[in-house]
Amino acid sequence: MNKWSIPRSSKTARVTVEVGWSESYNDLHGDMNRLLIGGNGDIKIVILVKWTKHANQTVSGILELYRLDPQGMPRLCRTEIIFPMPSDGKL
């Protein structure tokens, strides 16, 4: 699933969210690379959300935030477990 947030003054999304349920983690990373590197600097942030259903019928979710580093390469800036809620109650 792709979600675009486009400011009125821009023709290109600045922040893009890629969410994967059936899409593999590698496919999500490929999308992130295409968006950041192929976005010619217009896309500033890509957020990946990967949902996983486990054999015991539980679900987990992880969020990763990427930006381009000064050399123009995608860099992981933040990772958060978003489901189940961390035991300390903080995201």
Residue spans per domain, the chain: 2-83
Question: What's this model's pTM, rounded to 2 decimal places?
Answer: 0.77
Contact assessment for residue 49 and residue 55, using Cβ atoms and an 8 Å cutoff: no
DSSP collapsed to 3 states, 29-68: HHHHHHHHHHCCCCCCEEEEEEEEECCCCCEEEEEEEEEE
Domain 2-83: which topology?
Answer: Immunoglobulin-like (2.60.40)
Q: Which residue has the higher pLDDT, 49 or 22?
A: 49
Q: In what order do the strands lie in the sheet with 59-68?
A: 2-5, 15-20, 45-53, 59-68, 74-83
Residue 88 confidence class, pLDDT cut points 50, 70, 90: low
Q: How much is the pLDDT for 86?
A: 60
Least Cα distance to 15 among 66, 88, 57 occurs for: 66
Question: Does the pLDDT value for residue 13 go beyond 70?
Answer: no
Write the pLDDT tens digit of every residue in 25-70.
999 999 999 999 988 888 899 999 999 988 888 899 999 999 999 9
